[in-house]
Amino acid sequence: MFDPSATVPIHCSAEEAIEEFRSGRMLIVSGGRHSKTNGDLVVPARAADTNRINFMAKDGRGLICLGLTGERCDELGLEPLSERRVPVDQADFTVSIEAAEGVSTGISAADRAHTIGVAINPANGPETIVRPGHVFPLRERPGGVLARSGHVEAAIDLSRLAGTGDSVVLCQILDEDGEAAGTSYLAGFAERFGIKMVRVDEVARHVSELALSRQVGGETREGSRELRSILGHFATGVTVLTTNDQEGEPCGTTANAFTSVSLDPPLILICLARESLTLEAIRARGGFVANILADGQQDHSNWFAKTGVRLEPDLHEFTDGKLGLPVLDGTVAHLECEVERIDEGGDHEILLGRVVSHARHDEAPDPLLFYRGAYRRLTGPGPANHI
């Protein structure tokens, strides 16, 4: 399985890493601004047999984890290990697991390989595992390595691209003293066992390039252009988030900040005040609409500047969008989103949304701008042109 005589370069390309996974071989993933480990042994979960688990335990020495998609975690009923929402720079652990049948103590390499096989089998449900156990699942962040620069996201993206599934097994590499392995140790480890290394940022580069290359021709290209245009306006215009509260009444608030994460998948980040009532409604509803206000909708901006107020039919015209949530009329454009995650960020909460529908409105006016304490126009003299 491992060739100690093999000589490998310190780091390989993402394309080479994909071929390694496709050939059933392990990799070492290193780096990543959102990862607190220096290097992890990774392998597609479907290839994590007894020998590979034993190698991880004996030579890798770190905690053996199972990287799963959020969807699979939900299917298995895996609850977060932490009661608090996990910041983006921390791994998102769930409760540890064991196969309900077919294991003895659960700690042996064979038992852990069996548990992994049970967990990744789509035919199996939560009744096939017990908690706690000796396998530690990690929940992939939505958007993969483009959303979180971490080892689990990079490894799962590589496995997807290799056609080896969307689950991986990871083990942090520790040095002879039991400390997190440094760069020189990782290089020696890779050379000694003939395992290729790949950096997280190299995986992100490849995934990003693939996403751009897929946006060619037909509706995909036009949809991408429209979404890019909309996101550009969100970067400069006043944005109002709308949803329905727990009584089913439409409500909304202005966003403190907005940025896009990726186009494939289409993910956006929005910053809201922690005490926002609309934020709590979004959390409960699981969806929201981001509306770019148009020039002349200052009254809307002032109204929704509160931390969460209901829409007034006499003041605000709206229609129900594809998610059944209120879309404000007369705006420049809107994005309908499903909530992927809500994280703490100082005095605010960071909302990650997946765009499921978007539209730039016909004969859309210029966006409403607000900076330096005043509303500005997109065109015209003075500082309005300098954002």
Q: What is the CATH number of the domain that holds 292?
A: 2.30.110.10
Is 1 inside a domain boundary?
no
At 32 the pLDDT is 67
pTM of the model: 0.60
Answer yes or no: do 231 and 362 share one domain: yes
User: Which SS3 state, helix, strand or coil, does residue 264 take?
Assistant: coil
Answer yes or no: do 133 and 154 share one domain: yes
Answer yes or no: do 115 and 245 share one domain: no
Is 4 inside a domain boundary?
no
Distances in whole angstroms, Cα of residue 349 to Cα of each of 87, 164, 342: 11, 35, 7
Is 8 inside a domain boundary?
no
Q: Which stretches of the chain score pLDDT less than 70?
A: 1-10, 32-37, 82-90, 211-226, 228-236, 264, 307-308, 313-314, 345-346, 362-365, 370-387
At 105 the pLDDT is 95
At 381 the pLDDT is 39
Distance (Å, rounded) from C-alpha 42 to C-alpha 173? 10
Residues present in the chain in total: 387
At 232 the pLDDT is 61
Based on the structure, what is the number of domains in the chain? 2
At 207 the pLDDT is 84
Answer yes or no: do 202 and 259 share one domain: no
Is 7 inside a domain boundary?
no
Distance (Å, rounded) from C-alpha 334 to C-alpha 332? 7
At 2 the pLDDT is 46
Is 5 inside a domain boundary?
no
327: its two tokens: 């879309």
Q: Which of 318, 300, 306 is nearest to 277 (CA)?
A: 306
Answer yes or no: do 166 and 95 share one domain: yes
Q: Which domain holds residue 368?
A: 219-385
Do the beta carbons of residue 172 and residue 153 sit within 8 Å?
no
Contacts of residues 220-228 at CB distance under 8 Å and 24 or more positions apart, as own/partner, are 224/263, 226/358, 226/359, 226/360, 227/263, 227/266, 227/355, 227/358, 228/263
Q: C-alpha angle with apex 138: 135 to 142, nearest 5 degrees?
A: 155
Answer yes or no: do 193 and 236 share one domain: no
Is 6 inside a domain boundary?
no
Distance (Å, rounded) from C-alpha 86 to C-alpha 138? 12
Is 156 inside a domain boundary?
yes
At 166 the pLDDT is 95
Number of H helices, E strands in the chain: 10, 19
Cβ-proximal residues to 266 (8 Å cutoff; 6+ apart), any chain: 227, 260, 354, 355, 358
